[in-house]
Amino acid sequence: MAAISGLIRVMEKAARKAGGRLRRDFGEIEHLQVSRKGPADFVSKADQNSERTIWDELRAARPEWGFLFEEGGEIEGDPDKPRFIVDPLDGTTNFLHGLPHFAISIAVQEPRLDGKGWGEVTAGLIYQPVTDETFWAEKSRGAWLHDRRLRVSSRRHLDESLIATGIPFSGHGDAGEWTRIYHALAPQVAGIRRFGSAALDLAWVAAGRYEGFWESGLKPWDTAAGCLLVREAGGFVSDWKGRSLPYCDAEVLAGNDALHSRLHKMLVNALKG
């Protein structure tokens, strides 16, 4: 087992503290105060409290670092220091409907050496409060579930493969694009699943539970930690053009080392014309 770095311990402490509060709130869903941010896009007191808890913990440990939050937006820090990218509750709609599938995602992104924006993601952690699972990765140090090394699935055949996705919903995503990709992939694979948390979808690709995942219209906080996990577990993540970016969010295609290129070719062919 790789020695857990001080940074990962800081991230896990923050995630577990926020996750404990999410578990308590999850048991009291009917009492949560919920307001709409937009069509089918909710923000709850639990979401806000989770973000505040993570902010307090990470800020105390790394006071000079910046932040990019789903709810709170960008908070600038020392431009020569990394920043945290945080989703305090990925799977909010699941949470509010009593479905026990949601997670906290925290990633670390480095500033570019030329000082023009942000570069590679070097650490990521995804914590699932209900199952008490901590998925984490650091650049060049592998991907892990607690103290167990993760590897992407070894399946080589599409007809044995389980693929995850995010389905467009009210006000989000391109239904026509998704439908074309679905019709290309569905007849070739063992199954397609939509569970409602992109962070966990990517963590599960890293853990070998899925062979692949696709979705578009996401945000950095949805995918930054998960993209690193997949890569450090031996898989590949790209956008529709095949580019391997620090994190893919507008377009995400993840897969194991054997199937990513085949999935990408099928996706490109499906979207031609």
Q: What is the pLDDT of residues 19-31, one digit of tens each?
A: 999 999 998 887 7
| Domain termination site, one of 149, 172, 193 | 149
Q: Do 27 and 133 fall within a single domain?
A: yes
Query: CA 243 to CA 153: how far, in whole Å?
Result: 22
Residue 1 lies in a domain: no
Q: Is residue 221 part of a domain?
A: yes
Q: Inter-axis angle of helices 6-26 and 45-61, to 10 degrees?
A: 160
pLDDT of 233 reads 98
Residues 77 and 200 in one domain: no
Q: Residue 106 and residue 166: Cα distance in Å, rounded?
A: 20
pLDDT at residue 39 tops 60: no
Residue finishing a domain among 149, 167, 200: 149
Whether 92 shows a pLDDT value over 80: the answer reads yes
Domain that holds residue 46: 6-149
The answer on 141 and 164 residing in a single domain is no
Domain match, 74 and 36 both: yes
Domain identity same for 27 and 110: yes
Residues 69 and 170 in one domain: no
19 and 61, same structural domain? Answer: yes
**In a shared domain, residues 93 and 165:** no
Residues 145 and 163 in one domain: no
pLDDT attached to residue 31: 74
Q: How many domains does the chain have?
A: 2
214 and 139 both lie in a single domain = no
Tell me the average pLDDT across 47-70: 96
Residue 38: per-residue pLDDT: 62
Same domain, 13 and 89: yes
Q: Which of 108, 128, 149 is the last residue of a domain?
A: 149
Q: Cα–Cα distances in Å, from 180 out to 147, 193, 270?
A: 40, 16, 6
Read off the CATH number of the domain in which 214 is found.
3.40.190.80
pLDDT at 40 over 70: no
pTM above 0.85, yes or no: yes
| Residues 132 and 174 reside in one and the same domain | no
CATH number at residue 13: 3.30.540.10
For the stretch 122-170, pLDDT in tens is 999 999 999 999 999 999 999 999 999 999 999 999 999 999 999 998 7
